[in-house]
Chains A and B, each alone.
Chain A
C-alpha cells in the first residue's frame, strides 16, 4: 500500500536490508561520528565495522547543538569539533570508506549545516562522494520540501524518524517521505545505551507495519548482541551508536571491531525463531 517514493534507481540501503532479511537475519547499522577521535581513526573505525559484519554505516557529522544526542555522542562530537572538524571531512570520509569496503554509507546530520552548505550542493557532493543519503534527526517531513526535491534529483535516500508519540497520520507521512528505511525511535529520549529496549519499539514497528512500512530500523539505546537479536525479531534493522562510540573512546579501533563482531552475531539466524506473526499484543 504505502511505498516509499523512489526516483528511478533502487536504494542500496533498501537492497541491503532486503538481502539481510532474505538471508534470515536483519540489517545491522553502525553509527560513528566523523573526525572522532581523528579523521583517519574515524575512517578506520568505520571500515572495521563493515569488516566485522556491520551492513550499513551511519556517519554522524559533528554539530554544535546536537539536541537528539546523549552524553557519549555529545562528548565525541564536541571533541571532533574542537579538533577542527569541517563538513568537507564528511565527504572525504565517505570516499575513503567506500574505497575500502562495500557497504552503503548514510550521513546523519542536523539540518543547519546542510542549509548553510546549500541543500542542492550538499546533495550533489554527497552523491559524488558515494554517499547513500541522509538521516535527519531535526528535520521533519513538514519542513523538508527543499531536501525532498534535492534528494529525488540526486537519487539519495531520505531517512526520517518515527517516534512512539507520533500519530498514525505522521507515521504514514514518515513512510511516504522516507527512502531507505524509517528510523524507528525505540524510546522517548536521546541517544545512549540503555539496559532494556522499550516495548515501545516493538509496538511502534507494529504500528508502522500496519500502515504499510516495509523497511523499519530501530535505534536509540541498543548496545548488546541480545538487544540486536531481539529487535531483529520484529524489525528490519537495528542501529547501534553510543555503544560503538564508547568502545572507540575506551579502546580505539580494535575495540570497535570486537564489539561490531559481537553485535553482528546477534544479527544472523533470527528467523524463524521469532517471526513477527508470533508477537502477542
Chain B
C-alpha cells in the first residue's frame, strides 16, 4: 500500500475534526471545493503558472561540500526553499489556498503566524489577489519577529498581536479560529501548516509536496540515485511533509524530522512534541501534544518562533507511530551553531527553523559516514532572524549602531 498522499481525515489514529459545530459547514465547503480543484487541470495550471512566474520555482538544489566536512564527509544537498519569493516554503501553500479562496468566492482571508513567514506569504498572496487580510500573531512573536510584522503591514495586511495564553503561535491559532467562527460567511482561513482539522493536514501537504517531487528528481539527476536520508525541521511540520511525501514509498530513503528542543528535552523549555508529548486533541485534530496530566496544553519554548508550537501535524504523528519517519530533538544552541556554520562555510544564511534540520544533519552525516547522501530541506532564509542571531552571537556593536 502506498503511504503517499493520504487523503485524511485520519492518518492511522491521528487527525479528524475536533471543532465547534459552527465551523463544520466551512470545512465541508473547503473539502468539497478542494476535491474539485485538485482534479481540475485548470486549477493545477493556474497554480503552476504562479509557482514559475511568481515564486521562482522550481527551487534549485545546492550541494554544500564545505559544510559537509563537518558532517563526517557525507554528501549534503540543500533544497533551496529559502530562495522562493517571500523567503520560505510557506508561499507554496499560501498560493494554493488563495486560488481556492478565489474559487469559493470569499473576499477576506485570515491566517495565523509564528515566525511570520506564513503571515508574510498570506499577506503577499492577499495583495496579489486583492483580498482583505488579517494575520494573528502572538505578542511574543511580534516582538521577536518585528521585521516580518513590518513586511505584512507594508503588504496591506492587518496584524493582530494576540495577548492571551502564552502569546505565541498556539494562541494565534485560537484567535484565528474565533475570527473564522464569527466571519465564516466572507472569510477563508489560510492555515499555514499540516495541522488543524480536516482538510488542512492533507491539503497543506498537497500544496507543499512539490518540494519533494522536485527534489527527488533533482537529486536523481545530480547523483544518479536516491538520497540515503531526507531531513527537515518540524514545528507544525509543513516543510517536512512537503519534502517527505515524495519519498514515503522509497523504503531505502530514511526520513528524519528535527524538533525544537529549546534548552533541552530534559528541561521544561522545549517544543519537542513527538519526542516528549502524548496523543491528544488540539486545534481540531488528534495528534501528539505537549500537555500536562489534565490535558492542558503546556507552553512550548524555542529560540525559533516558527517551531515554538506544542502540537504537530497528525500525519507526522502517524509516520512516527509506524516508524516510517524518525523525529529527534535539536537544542537552541545546536541550531544556532549550525546556522553560523552554514553561513561561514557556504555563504548561505538559513532561517533558525531550518538550522534545526542542518544541526540534525551534521549528526546524521557523522553516523551514516562519507558514502551517504543527505537531502536537507532548507525551508527558509535567515534575514528575518538577524536580530535574534545578532543578540545570540553578540554581533550587534553598540558603537556601530549609533554611528
Contacts and interface: CB of A to CB of B under 8 A. Distances in A.
Contacts of A116: 278, 280, 291, 293-295
Interface stretch (A14-22, A166-174, A208-216, A229-237): A166-174
B280 A165 contact: no
B25 interface: yes
Given A113-B296, A142-B17, 17 more contacts: A63-B296, A64-B297, A65-B282, A65-B283, A67-B283, A74-B164, A78-B165, A87-B295, A111-B18, A112-B281, A116-B280, A116-B291, A116-B294, A117-B294, A161-B20, A174-B21, A185-B21
B164 A115 contact: no
B282 A170 contact: no
B185 interface: yes
Contacts of A203: none
B306 interface: no
Contacts of B21: 140, 160-163, 166, 170, 174, 185
Contacts of A160: 21
Interface stretch (B175-183, B356-364, B375-383): B175-183
B18 A139 contact: yes
B64 interface: no
A116 B291 CA distance: 9
A64 B171 CA distance: 9
B20 A138 contact: yes
A193 to B, nearest CB: 14
B6 interface: no
B165 to A, nearest CB: 7
A86 B294 contact: yes
Top 7 A-B pairs ranked by shortest CB distance?
A: A116-B295, A165-B25, A113-B295, A163-B22, A161-B21, A189-B182, A112-B295
Interface in B130-181: 164-165, 170-171, 174, 177-178, 181
A115 B21 CA distance: 19
B19 interface: yes
Nearest to B175: A67
A137 interface: yes
B8 to A, nearest CB: 13
Instruction: Name the interface size band of chain B.
Output: 35 or more
Contact of B25 (A111, A138, A167): A167
B26 interface: yes
B25 A166 contact: yes
21 contacts: A64-B165, A65-B283, A65-B297, A70-B178, A112-B282, A114-B295, A116-B280, A137-B20, A138-B18, A138-B284, A140-B19, A143-B16, A161-B20, A163-B21, A163-B24, A163-B25, A165-B25, A185-B21, A188-B183, A189-B22, A189-B182
B121 interface: no
Contacts of B183: 188
Contact of A140 (B24, B174, B280, B297): B24
A66 B289 CA distance: 16
Contacts, number: 110
Contact of B281 (A68, A111, A190): A111
A185 B278 CA distance: 32
Given A111-B18, A174-B21, A165 B295 contact: no
A11 B282 CA distance: 31
A194 to B, nearest CB: 11
A185 B22 contact: yes
A111 B21 CA distance: 13
A102 to B, nearest CB: 29
A143 B17 contact: yes
A255 interface: no
B342 interface: no
Contacts of B20: 67-68, 137-138, 161, 163
A96 interface: no
Interface in A165-223: 165-167, 170, 174, 185, 188-190
B174 A65 contact: yes
A74 B283 CA distance: 16
Most buried by B among A112, A139, A170: A112
A60 B128 CA distance: 44
A117 B294 CA distance: 6
A167 B32 CA distance: 15
Contact of A188 (B18, B177, B184, B278): B184
Interface in B248-285: 278, 280-284
A139 B281 CA distance: 10
B176 to A, nearest CB: 9
A81 interface: yes
A164 B22 CA distance: 7
Contacts of B297: 64-65, 112
Contacts of A66: 174
Contacts of A115: 280-281, 295
A70 B280 CA distance: 23
Contacts of B22: 161, 163-165, 185, 188-189
